[in-house]
Amino acid sequence: MKTKFKKITLFLLVCVFGSSCQEKQKVEEISPSLILISKANVIDVRTGQIKTGQNIFIDSGKIKEINTLEIDDLSKYKTVIKAEGQFVIPGMTEMHAHIPQPPTSKERLEDVLFLYLANGVTTIRGMLGHPDHLELKKKVQDRTVLGPRIFTSSPSLNGNSVKTAEEAIEKVTAYQKEGYDFLKIHPGIQRSVFDQLVKTANEVGISFAGHVPVDVGIRHALESKFATIDHVDGFLEGLVPESENVDPTANGFFGYNFTPLADTSKIDELVQLSKDNKVWIVPTQSLFERWFAPANVDSLLAEPEMKYMPKSTLENWRRVKQQSMENSGFNVSQWEQFDAIRKTLIKKLQDNGHGILLGSDAPQLFNVPGFSIQHEMQGMAKAGMQPLEILQSATINPAIFFDMENIFGEIKEGAEADLILLAKNPLDDIKNYMEVSGIMTRGTWISRDDIEKRLKEIAESAAKN
């Protein structure tokens, strides 16, 4: 350790110039709160390089030092996590999460926060804000509630909540003053009202993200500089030639109804617009492979993670999926075309756009908080994203997005200690993200045993509701 080297130098000077080495020698003091992760393989999320034999020293919630020195006596450290042969990556960010709102109980809220943590999600961006979330954010920050770091949107801005320019000015100004991190845009906002919303947001200094209202359209949305466009919303509608003269409100589920009309040669233009205007994309691809997809309901409900959701929630998911599939004119052939266009968009937005951020829209249908990122990563891989790109979408990219590269998003000295210890290399196989040996959130270590114990309690509670 660097501090150790300073003390050794001081000791040598005393031995040379002092009267007695034995009298002057002092036992090096090691902070009782210091945590040592020893001999880990650390993945550099910028390059994909694996740095072997890394000792990570953590204290007061931060990474104090990383070195490869041989440590002869581990007993000097109160907390040692032996990580030889295992892999350390930064804690991941779920960029399209949903935080429970009242009347959800305090116990269920804390269960949901832990489900994120149990899967290595140490930061979440809540996409449907509520005044209680502002207080929850502070409690997590102060460590009075265990959970991932929280960024929260405002309450929904939609066609019903902002019908006039005056309402847009009033609500945008109020949400910025109340301390929300950004504005959540939902469908239905008229273009003139949207433009006033954007103007006011720029004036008061708050960003906006989410859906693309039909009356706004994808091109105007990109030029208006959304912070993120989620669900790849509006892009498929933007591929329909004007000559088709469609009713834009007849687009269906994220443009599904217009699938046969889509001109994929227009994709590059939209991708370039996203790059020019620095608009990040949160695909939530798992939503389109699980909810609006030919996935069998019973098979989804039989997945192991479903035991962490209340029975009432699972019953609602079954009902909503069945109704939405029956009432949408869904057919497998058109869905396959729809899915192929989405995957092409995701791949091109990754390669030539501004960038991709991981988000799964949990807990929407069949997306259990935390566990859903595994499905999202699989969707990204099927779209052609490489393992390192997927890891970056969950780590360094969100840190860049929030302008917090010195706080989280990679394993480096001075950063907050958000990290995941994995038994296997996640760059070899996406399924290795499930091989969690332990999680650290801002210096708090949660072992595999602790995770399993807490998950068992959550499952037992969910089974009663």
pLDDT digits (tens, 9 = 90+) for 242-283: 999 999 999 999 999 999 999 999 999 999 999 999 999 999
Distances (CA, A) of 229 to 11, 262, 378: 59, 19, 20
Res 12 pLDDT > 70:
no
Are the C-beta atoms of residues 56 and 36 closer than 8 Å to each other?
yes
Tell me the C-alpha distance between 1 and 151, whole Å: 34
Q: What is the pLDDT of residue 28?
A: 54
Tokens 């072992």 -> residue? 447
Q: For residue 242, what are the contacts with CB-CB under 8 A and spacing of at least 6? A: none
Res 130 pLDDT > 60:
yes
Of the listed ranges 17-31, 314-328, 348-362, the one predicted with least confidence: 17-31
Element (H, E) at 320: helix 311-327
The token pair that represents 158 in the structure block? 């939609």
pTM to 2 decimals? Answer: 0.92
pLDDT digits (tens, 9 = 90+) for 224-240: 999 999 999 999 999 99
Question: Is residue 5 very low, low, confident or very high in pLDDT (cuts 50, 70, 90)?
Answer: very low
Q: What is the pLDDT of residue 21?
A: 41
pLDDT above 90 covers a percentage of the chain that reads 89
Tell me the C-alpha distance between 73 and 76, whole Å: 6
Domain locations in the chain as residue ranges:
92-408
User: Which residues are paired to 121 by β-bridges?
Assistant: 92
Mean pLDDT of the chain: 93
Q: For residue 127, what are the contacts with CB-CB under 8 A and spacing of at least 6? A: 96, 97, 98, 153, 184, 209, 210, 230, 361
DSSP conformation class of 216: T
The token pair that represents 124 in the structure block? 């979440």
Q: Which CATH number describes the domain made up of 92-408?
A: 3.20.20.140
DSSP conformation class of 431: G
Q: What is the pLDDT of residue 25?
A: 33
pLDDT above 70 covers a percentage of the chain that reads 94
Are the C-beta atoms of residues 213 and 187 closer than 8 Å to each other?
yes
Tell me the C-alpha distance between 357 and 227, whole Å: 11
Are the C-beta atoms of residues 386 and 377 closer than 8 Å to each other?
no
Coil, helix or strand at residue 442: coil
DSSP conformation class of 258: G
Res 293 pLDDT > 50:
yes
β-strands 50-59, 35-43: how paired? Answer: antiparallel
Res 350 pLDDT > 60:
yes
